[in-house]
């Protein structure tokens, strides 16, 4: 595509072709793609640093059919990812949007690598047939690489500490932004301003489940700029909202504010009836809906023999996945003992006494461990098929238990509904001229089940690129993006 030119006879007076609101993965990718198509771009960031919540991420990116998979002899494709993604979410994602994500996230990972993002390994993203989690050096490293690329593009400008107050709209078309008394007129505006995890009032209105963890537990991993601006700015435009109530929550004990995402295979988790209800080594993406379905508190339980064996740096080998960048451990003897002293971990000489302390039926809890210990002795978990080599009996007193909650909030995924080209849709399902959205600022791309590590970054980077390309293409009066969405879904 050639450089975008404004008709000399046009009455439209603009300061910049494309305004991008937000500088996380979605915003940075959108800016680079719009500029590559010939547009001038302004990135408006509300905080005093670039990167938003993206800079705090682990940096895994879910993708299929990449050269990095091929180098390890892994055969995969966007079609396979699409079938997995849609089935996992019971087709509660618009198929065209899901198709776009699954087909383009692989090429996007390669595009990121071409822009200086190092891919340092492959990990399982979730419960998938082949590893799809592409590890980087972390969110900040990805941001740094993209910002470095942007610094080499003179047609991209950046404005920090500029939280957008409102969108400028004329005759139904978004034509810029306002920050206080200052107005910037543009021909296209891309919402890439993150989710609403840092705004309790917005959570109450649009995504209340995280608040059930309790104020003294809930921990949002993102940046303070995640205030729900994508919703706030578009409410006057009568947009459709998609993904209401959707978020990604990780279950942990209340041991500290650091990520330790997966449980060691020896931990036994029971519900408020004192019964196991799933494979404790399951990916956190699967854990969330299963735990919510219990409808009550859940607890992690183990015995003294397991405690004594839980030396520092011992848990990594007993997890389904040890995510890169996680350096602190919950389930080690120094931390366990400290939490016993703090009253966070309960201890009793008998299973019956432990049951009383955590408020579950004693007979049920005793029965659970009679059955579980039998599984350990036989070397097979005939109930939930947990890997037997990591199972340990719960038989040596004293016994320990601590409550677990879904309190580590990774992201929210409610926002203006977009089509497969990242155009924002109004209540009549019409694309709002001049308005696009990507990443957490959009809704409907992530389904009710988080597909696994890297699902959010795949969304942000892929649809950031799509939004940038579409905005530039629409400025040239192209009816559609050059690449068609898959015709056969």
Give the per-residue pLDDT at 320.
85
CB contact set of 27 (below 8 Å; sequence gap of 6+)? 20, 21, 43, 45, 52, 190, 192, 193, 438, 439, 464
Give the per-residue pLDDT at 21.
98
Determine the angle formed by the axes of helices 139-151 and 25-36, rounding to 10 degrees.
30
Q: Is the pLDDT of residue 81 over 90?
A: yes
pLDDT confidence band for 268 (50 / 70 / 90)? very high
Rounded Cα distance, 4 and 472, in Å: 8
Contact call for residues 162 and 407 (beta carbons, < 8 A): no
Q: How many residues does the chain have?
A: 489
pLDDT (mean) for 442-470: 96
Rounded Cα distance, 357 and 35, in Å: 61
Q: Is the pLDDT of residue 424 over 60?
A: yes
Q: Is the pLDDT of residue 54 over 80?
A: yes
Q: Is the pLDDT of residue 72 over 80?
A: yes
Residue-wise pLDDT tens digits, 177-190:
999 999 999 999 99
- Domain locations along the chain: 16-246+413-475, 249-408
Q: Is the pLDDT of residue 294 over 90?
A: yes
Bridge partners of 184, per DSSP, are 177
Which phi-psi region, left, alpha or beta, contains residue 92 (left: φ > 0; alpha: ψ -120 to 50)?
A: alpha
Rounded Cα distance, 357 and 348, in Å: 8
Name the percent of the chain lying above pLDDT 90. Answer: 89
The mean pLDDT value of the chain amounts to 94
CB contact set of 484 (below 8 Å; sequence gap of 6+)? none
Q: Which residue has the higher pLDDT, 229 or 128?
A: 229
Rounded Cα distance, 127 and 389, in Å: 19
Q: Which residue has the higher pLDDT, 488 or 259?
A: 259
Q: Is the pLDDT of residue 69 over 60?
A: yes
Which of these, 206, 257, 246, 225, lies nearest to 455 by C-alpha position?
246
pLDDT confidence band for 101 (50 / 70 / 90)? very high
Which single residue is written with the structure tokens 């080690």? Answer: 332
Contact call for residues 154 and 160 (beta carbons, < 8 A): no
Q: What H or E segment, with its residue span, contains residue 232?
A: helix 229-234
Q: Is the pLDDT of residue 385 over 50?
A: yes
Give the per-residue pLDDT at 12.
55
Rounded Cα distance, 250 and 71, in Å: 32
Tokens of 356: 């009383």
Q: Residue 205, Cβ neighbours under 10 Å: how many?
A: 14
Q: Is the pLDDT of residue 325 over 80?
A: no
Contact call for residues 101 and 94 (beta carbons, < 8 A): no
Q: Residue 233, Cβ neighbours under 10 Å: how many?
A: 24
Q: Is the pLDDT of residue 477 over 80?
A: no
pLDDT confidence band for 485 (50 / 70 / 90)? very low
Residue-wise pLDDT tens digits, 36-52:
999 999 999 999 999 99
Question: What is the phi/psi pair of residue 58, to 5°?
Answer: -60, -40
Residue 304 CB burial class (10 angstroms; 0-12, 13-18, ≥19): middle
Q: Is the pLDDT of residue 99 over 70?
A: yes
Give the per-residue pLDDT at 127.
86
pLDDT confidence band for 68 (50 / 70 / 90)? very high
CB contact set of 133 (below 8 Å; sequence gap of 6+)? 60, 61, 62, 122, 123, 124, 125, 452, 453, 454
Q: Is the pLDDT of residue 478 over 90?
A: no
Buried residues in 70-107 as b, exposed as e (16+ CB within 10 A):
eeeebebebebbbebbbebbeeebbeebbbbbbbbbbb
Is the preceding omega at residue 398 within 30 degrees of 0, hence cis? yes
Rounded Cα distance, 142 and 24, in Å: 10
Q: Is the pLDDT of residue 161 over 70?
A: yes
Q: Which residue has the higher pLDDT, 69 or 128?
A: 69
| Pairing of the two strands 298-303 and 219-220 | unpaired
Distance from the Cα of residue 288 to its chain's centroid:
13
Instruction: Tell me, yes or no, if the two domains 16-246+413-475 and 249-408 fold the same way.
Output: no
Give the per-residue pLDDT at 327.
84
- Round the CA-based radius of gyration of the chain to a whole number and report it: 24
pLDDT (mean) for 226-252: 97
pLDDT confidence band for 479 (50 / 70 / 90)? very low
Report the CATH number of the 249-408 domain: 3.90.700.10
Rounded Cα distance, 163 and 232, in Å: 12
Q: What H or E segment, with its residue span, contains residue 205?
A: helix 200-206
Give the per-residue pLDDT at 13.
83
Buried residues in 372-383 as b, exposed as e (16+ CB within 10 A):
bbebbeeeebee
Rounded Cα distance, 318 and 390, in Å: 6
Rounded Cα distance, 305 and 396, in Å: 6
Name the percent of the chain lying above pLDDT 70. Answer: 95
Rounded Cα distance, 69 and 447, in Å: 25
Determine the angle formed by the axes of helices 139-151 and 95-114, rounding to 10 degrees.
70
Domain 16-246+413-475 in this protein, CATH class: alpha beta
pLDDT confidence band for 231 (50 / 70 / 90)? very high
């Amino acid at each position: 595509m050639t450089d975008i030119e404004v008709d000399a006879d046009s009455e439209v007076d603009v300061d910049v072709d494309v305004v991008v609101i937000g500088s996380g993965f979605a915003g940075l990718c959108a800016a680079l793609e719009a500029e590559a198509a010939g547009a001038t771009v302004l990135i408006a960031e509300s905080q005093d640093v670039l990167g938003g919540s993206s800079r705090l991420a682990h940096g895994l990116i879910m993708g299929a059919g990449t050269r990095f998979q091929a180098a390890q002899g892994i055969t995969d494709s966007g079609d396979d990812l699409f079938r997995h993604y849609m089935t996992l979410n019971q087709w509660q994602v618009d198929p065209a949007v899901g198709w776009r994500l699954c087909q383009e996230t692989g090429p996007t990972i390669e595009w990121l690598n071409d822009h200086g993002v190092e891919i340092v390994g492959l990990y399982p993203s979730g419960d998938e047939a082949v590893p799809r989690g592409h590890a980087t050096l972390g969110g900040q490293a990805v941001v740094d690489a993209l910002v470095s690329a942007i610094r080499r593009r003179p047609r991209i400008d950046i404005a920090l500490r500029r939280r957008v107050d409102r969108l400028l709209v004329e005759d139904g078309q978004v034509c810029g932004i306002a920050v206080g008394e200052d107005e910037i007129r543009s021909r296209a505006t891309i919402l890439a301003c993150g989710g609403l995890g840092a705004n309790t009032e917005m959570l109450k209105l649009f995504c209340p489940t995280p608040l059930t963890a309790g104020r003294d537990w809930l921990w949002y991993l993102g940046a303070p700029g995640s205030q729900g601006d994508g919703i706030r700015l578009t409410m006057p435009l009568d947009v459709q909202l998609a993904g209401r109530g959707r978020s990604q929550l990780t279950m942990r004990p209340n041991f500290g504010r650091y990520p330790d995402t997966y449980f060691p295979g020896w931990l036994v988790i029971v519900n408020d009836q004192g019964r196991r209800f799933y494979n404790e080594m399951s990916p956190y993406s699967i854990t969330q809906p299963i735990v919510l379905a219990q409808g009550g508190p859940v607890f992690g339980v183990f015995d003294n023999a397991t405690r004594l064996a839980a030396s520092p740096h011992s848990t990594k080998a007993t997890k389904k996945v040890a995510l890169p960048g996680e350096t602190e451990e919950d389930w080690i003897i120094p931390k366990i003992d400290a939490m016993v002293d703090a009253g966070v971990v309960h201890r009793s000489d008998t299973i019956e006494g432990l049951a009383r302390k955590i408020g579950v039926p004693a007979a049920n809890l005793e029965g659970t461990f009679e059955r579980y210990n039998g599984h350990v002795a036989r070397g097979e978990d005939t109930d939930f098929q947990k890997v037997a080599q990591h199972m340990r009996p719960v038989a040596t007193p004293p016994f320990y238990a601590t409550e677990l909650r879904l309190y580590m909030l990774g992201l929210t995924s409610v926002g203006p509904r977009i089509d497969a080209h990242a155009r924002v849709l109004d209540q009549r399902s019409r694309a709002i001229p001049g308005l696009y959205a990507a990443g957490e600022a959009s809704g409907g791309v992530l389904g009710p089940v988080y597909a696994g590590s890297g699902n959010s970054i795949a969304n942000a980077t892929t649809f950031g690129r799509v939004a940038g390309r579409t905005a530039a293409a629409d400025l040239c009066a192209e009816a559609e993006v050059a690449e068609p969405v898959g015709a056969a879904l």
